[in-house]
Structure 1
Amino acid sequence: MLFLPLRVLVLNDNFFQRTAIVNMVRRLGCDAVFDAASANHAWHVLCQVGPVDIVVCDLHKDGMENLDFLRRSALSGLVRSVIINNSLAEDVQRTARQLMPLLGLKMLGEVGSPFNINALSDLLMSYKNEPTPPAVSRCMNIVVSDEEVRVAIVEGQMETYFQPKVNLINLQVSGVEALTRWNHPRGGIVSPVVFMSTIERCELLNQLFFAQLEHGLHLQRQYLMHGQPLNVAFNLQPSQLSDVGLVSRIKETLASFKLPAAGVTFELTETGLVDASAECIENLLRLRLMGCRLSIDDFGSGFSSLRRLCQLPFNEIKLDGEFIQALDDGPRSRAVISSTIALGESLGMTVVAEGIETQDQHRELVKLGCVLGQGYFLGKPMKKQELVNWLQSRAPLRGSGR
C-alpha cells in the first residue's frame, strides 16, 4: 500500500458515497482522513482538527453552500487543494478551474461517478509530487494596524525573498525577482496581500522599496564580483511613479553600489497603469533612458494591455499565470500564449511565463516557443543565502573556491 502523508477532508451529503470515498482515500495510505455531510459540518471539523491538504468535494446543482465553505476555508488558510468528486459539464468545470486559484486553492482535478480509485490515486500523487509553496499565512483575521506595520519595517520583519527567472530551454537562471514577505510575530510568514494596502495607506511604500532595492543590489554585486551578471527585478506601484524624485533616488542608489542600470528590471501591473499620470509616464521614460528594463506584469489580466504596450516604454511582458494554469482546459489558453509570444517577438520584447507549477506546463510552454519562465516548478522564492546556495549547487560561482 502507498503511504501518502496527506490530510484529506471528504465533503459529501450522500452517506454511502462519502463512506466509499473515505475508505478509498484510506486504502491509498492517507491515515488522516475526515468527513462531513454538509458545509457547516465541514467547517466545524476544520476548526477542530486544523488545516487539511485536500478537500474532496461534491459540487452538485445545489452546491452553493459548498462553494461558500471553500471560499471561507481558503481565506482562513485551512484548505490548500480541491478534488471535485462529481462530473461537471465542460463549461462549469472550466469555470471552476478558473475560480479555485482566485480563492487561493489548487484544483487538482475531477473524479466522476462511478468513483475510480486509480484516478483518485493519480490526483493525490500529483499533489504530493508538485513543488509546495512555503507556508504563507493567509489568515485574513490578522488585524494589521498602522503601528504594527511601522514597527515591522523598523525592526526588519519585512524580509526580501528572491524567485528565479529561468530559461526554459537550457534551465539557466537569467535573473531573480525580489519579493517581500512579512515575518509576523503572531501570524508567521504573511503574504503581501494582507499588508500592502496598509503599507500604501501609511505612505511607507518607498521606505519598503528602497530597503528591498538595497538587498537586491547587495546580491547582484556579490555575483558581479565573480564575473556573473544577475538581473534583479523589483515591483513598483503606480503611486510611487507619481513621485518626481523617485528616479533620481534610484539612480543615486545604483551609483552607491557602482552597478549599471541595465542590471535591474522594474515590474508594474497593467491594471495599475489604466490612468497613468504625466508624472508616471515621465518616470517610466526616465528609467528606460537610464538603461533600466521595464516589465508589464500580469499581462492579460486587464482590458488595456495592448494600448499600454503602444503607449509606454516596456521591453518585457510577464504573461499572467492564470493562462499557464489553464493550459489543460482547452485550446483558448494555448492560443493566448502563442499570440502573446508572437506579439513579443514582433515588438522586440521578452516574454516571461509566470506561475509554472508542473513539468507538463514547462514542456507545453517550450513547445509553444516560450523561452523564459518563473514558478515553483523552476524555483520557489528564497531568502538571500538560500538562493545563493541554490544557485551554487547548479553552477558554482567562479572564483568562489568551489
Structure 2
Amino acid sequence: MDDSSPPEPTGDGHYERLSLPGSEFSPLDALVALVRERGLFVLVAGGVVLLGTAYALAAPSRYTATSTVVREAQSEPEGIPSTLPSIPGLNIDPGNAGRTGLAPSAYPNLLTSREVRLAVARDTFYFPETGRRTTFVKHVNQSPGAVELLIDYTVRLPWTLMEGLGRLFRDADRRLGASGARSPLLAPSEEEQRALDALEKKVSASTQGTGALGGESGLMVVSTTAADPTLAARLNASFIEHLRRRVREIRTQNTMEHLKFVRQRLAEAGRELERAEDSLAQFLERNRSVIAGGGAPTLSFRRDRLQRQVRFKEQLYGQLQKKLTQTRLRLQRQQPVITVAEQPTPPPEPSAPNRSLIIVLSVLLGGAAGAAAVYFRSVLASAEAQESGREKLEEIRGSLTAEEIVQGVREELGRT
C-alpha cells in the first residue's frame, strides 16, 4: 500500500494513528489527525479550559478608585515682595529665599515614597474581608487562612519562594545596617516593611501635562486598588492627605532653616551696629572740642568714615528685619499646594480580573495545547513506524533516566 493512501480501518472499526510522512503532510492530514485523536484533544483542551475558568471564577475582584489633584506652584502671598535688593555683606540670595526646590513634577514620586506609604500603613481602615477596623500594617501581617495558604503554596509557589528570599535578604541588610538609635521611618520593622511592599503595588500616579494646566502646574491622577470599593476610596483619600502633609513638611522645613539663618545674621548685624555706634560715640566724646573749633581735618574725615559705617550697619540691620518679617509671614501662611479636583469615590464595577478575557484566552490556549498534544503523538507514531525512529526513541528513553543524567553531568565535569 502506498504511503499517501489513507489508512484502512482496523478490525474493530477504528483507524490506525496517522503518521507524518514528512513533506507530504498536508492541512487535511492535520484535520484527520485531530478527528482521530479527538479524545486526546478534548482531554487536554478541556483541562486547560477548566483550569482557566476555575481561576477566572475564583480570582478575587479588585477595585480601582481614582482621584484628580491639581499640583499648584507656590507663589508669594500678597503684600510680601518676592525679592529684596542685594545687600552687601549678606551671604544669601534674597531672590531664592524661601524656595524649596520642590517642583510639582516631583509629586508623583513623593506620593509613592516610603514616608507617605508608611504614614498610610499606620492609618486605620475598615476591612470587609475580616470585618474588623485596624491599621493596614496589622491587616497585612495577620495569619493567612487555609485557602490563602493553599493558593500560596500551590498556584503561587514560585512567587511565595521569591517573597521569602527577598524577606531574608532584607532582614540580613537590616541587621548589618543597624547601629544605634534610628528613626522608624529610616528603618521600618519587618511588619511595616510587608505593609510598605503591599501598598507599593496598590497605588500609582500619572501626570497630565497638557492643556491650560500643563507644564509644571498640571493635573495628577491618583489610583489605588483594593479588594473592596470603599476601601479603595479610603486608601486614595489617605494617600492624598499624607501627600499634602509631606509637601508642607518639606516646605516648612526649608522655611524654618532659612528663618534660623536670618535670625543669626540679624543678631550679628545688631552687634556690629552696636559696636559701630559705640566707636562713633567714643570718638565724638574725645574730640568734640577740636571738631567744633573747625581744626584737624584728619579728625573730620575719620568722623565721616565712622558715620558712614554706622549708616551702613543701620541699613543692613533694617533689611534683615524686613527679611525676618517676610520669612515669618511665609511660615505662618496656610496656602494649600495640592487641591483635589475630583474626589475619590467607590468604583461601581471591579477593574480586575477580566473574567471574560481569561476564559477566552484559556479556550485559545486549550485549543493550541490540544493540537500540540495531537501533533506530538503523531510524531511519536511516525517514529515508531520506522526502524531508525524506534532506535532513536529507545536512545532518548534510555538517556532520560536519573543514572544517565548524573553520568552525563559527571562527564561534562571531566570525571568518569
* TM > 0.5: no
Q: Report which of the two has the higher share of helix.
A: 2
Which of the pair has the greater relative contact order for Cα pairs under 8 Å at 6+ separation?
2
TM normalised by structure 2 equals 0.16
Instruction: Give 1 or 2 for the bigger CA radius of gyration.
Output: 2
